[in-house]
A = this chain, B = another copy of it.
Amino acid sequence: MRLKELGELSLIKRLGERFTARGPRVVKALGDDTAVTIVDDSRGLLSTTDTLIEEVHFRTSYTPPYLLGRKVVSISLSDVAAMGGVPLYLLLSVAVTPETTEDFFDELYNGIADCAKEFDVILIGGNTSASPGGTVLTSTVLGEVPIDEVVYRDGARCGDRIYVTGTIGDSALGLSVLMERGIEAVSKGPFKRAVHRHLDPTPRIRAGRALAERGLATAMIDISDGLVQDLRHLTEESNTGAAVEFKALPLSEEMKDHLRENPSNRRLVLAGGEDYELLFTARPESTGAIERLKKELGLPITPIGEVLGPEEGIRIVDGDGSPIRLAEEGFEHFR
C-alpha cells in the first residue's frame, strides 16, 4: 500500500502508536495544537512545528515571498494561540533551490522578521539548505503558558456553546481566486481581503491568551483543516457530538457576495481550512464574559452551535432545520 492510499490521518495515528510519547514532564505530546511539557510548578512549555511545501501548500505563481515568510511564522503562532499560550521563540528551516533569487530570499526574510517582531517572537535558530524540489519551509515555535491555564482539545462538555473568532471560509475563497487569477489578485480585482486572509492569516494570540487566562474556553483548536474537520478533532478528543447552525456562521461581506452568486459553494465555509481562527467551547454561564472580551479585542467572537452527547455525531443544520451533508469535508494530504 502506498501513502496516497493510506492518508495522512492514518499516518499520524500510526506515528502516535509507534511512540509512547510519555514522560514524567510530558502533559500532552501528539494530538493537540502544540505539545505541552512541564517547565516547573507553574509553567508549561508549548512546542509546535509546521511545514509549507511549494506545490503542496503554496505556489510561487500566486504567493508573494514576503507573505510566504509571514505565513510560515503565523501558522505556528496560531497553534500556540489555540492552547492559550504566549509565543516566545522561533526556529526556521529554509530549503530553496539553487536558482532562487536574492530578491526572493530578501522578501521571504523580511516577511519572517516582520511577523516575528509583530508578535514579539525571537528567532533563535535555523538552518538553510539547497532543495532540488522547490522551497520547503519548516517553522518551530516555542511558547509558554501558566500550566493551569492551558486549553486542550478535550475539555468540551455536553451543553457547552461553540464559538469561532473572526469570519470563516475567507482563506479558501481567497485561494480559489488566486488559483484562477494568479498573483495579480493580490493587488487588483475583487475579493482582495479574502486573498489576503489566505496569504497572510492572523494568529489570534491575544484572543487565545485572554480566553485561557480568564478560564472561559473549555476546549480550543485553530481552524487549519476546515471548520467541520477541526470541530471533529475537538469533539473526538472531548468524546462529544456537536450541532452547528450554518446561518449562525460568521461570514465576511466578500463571502456573502460570493455565496449569493454561487449558493452551492458552502463547502468553502465548512471545509475550506487555513482560516487560522480559533474554534472553542465555553460554558453557557460564560456568555457575558465572552461578549465583553469580544468588545475589548474588537474581534468578532460568534456562537455557532452547541456541544451534544457523543451519540449525536456532528450535525451542520441548514436554515430550515435540515442537515447539511458532511461528505469530503476538510483537507487531507496524500489523496
Contacting A11 at CB < 8 Å: which of B15, B105, B334? B105
Give the residues in chain B near A134, CB-CB below 8 Å: 132-133
Closest-CB distance, A312 to chain B (whole angstroms): 30
Complex interface residues of chain A between 129 and 153 (CB less than 8 A to chain B): 129-134, 136, 138, 140, 142
Give the residues in chain B near A127, CB-CB below 8 Å: 12, 49-51
Contacting A4 at CB < 8 Å: which of B26, B54, B99, B138? B99
Question: Is A167 at the interface (CB under 8 A from chain B)?
Answer: no
Closest-CB distance, A290 to chain B (whole angstroms): 29
Question: Is A328 at the interface (CB under 8 A from chain B)?
Answer: no
Q: Is the CB of A89 within 8 A of B47?
A: yes
Question: Is A293 at the interface (CB under 8 A from chain B)?
Answer: no
Question: Is A295 at the interface (CB under 8 A from chain B)?
Answer: no
Q: Is the CB of A122 within 8 A of B22?
A: yes
Interchain CA distance A57-B122 in the complex, whole Å = 28
Q: Is the CB of A6 within 8 A of B131?
A: no
A3-B98, A37-B89, A96-B3 known; A130+B18 contact, CB < 8 A: no
Q: What residue in chain B is nearest A28 (Cβ atoms)?
A: B124
Question: Is A320 at the interface (CB under 8 A from chain B)?
Answer: no
| Main DSSP-derived SS at the A contact region | mixed
Q: Is the CB of A49 within 8 A of B140?
A: yes
Closest-CB distance, A78 to chain B (whole angstroms): 13
Q: Is the CB of A126 within 8 A of B56?
A: no
Q: Is the CB of A123 within 8 A of B30?
A: yes
Interchain CA distance A129-B52 in the complex, whole Å = 9
Question: Is A281 at the interface (CB under 8 A from chain B)?
Answer: no
Give the residues in chain B near A113, CB-CB below 8 Å: 18-19
Question: Is A333 at the interface (CB under 8 A from chain B)?
Answer: yes
Interchain CA distance A15-B125 in the complex, whole Å = 10
Question: Is A23 at the interface (CB under 8 A from chain B)?
Answer: yes
Q: Is the CB of B99 within 8 A of A26?
A: no
Q: What residue in chain B is nearest A138 (Cβ atoms)?
A: B138
Closest-CB distance, A130 to chain B (whole angstroms): 5
Closest-CB distance, A186 to chain B (whole angstroms): 23
Question: Is A91 at the interface (CB under 8 A from chain B)?
Answer: yes
Give the residues in chain B near A25, CB-CB below 8 Å: 88
Question: Is A2 at the interface (CB under 8 A from chain B)?
Answer: yes
What are 21 A-B pairs at a CB distance below 8 A?
A3-B98, A3-B99, A3-B105, A4-B99, A15-B109, A21-B123, A23-B122, A30-B124, A30-B126, A35-B125, A37-B88, A37-B89, A39-B39, A47-B125, A48-B91, A50-B93, A51-B95, A57-B129, A93-B138, A130-B333, A136-B136
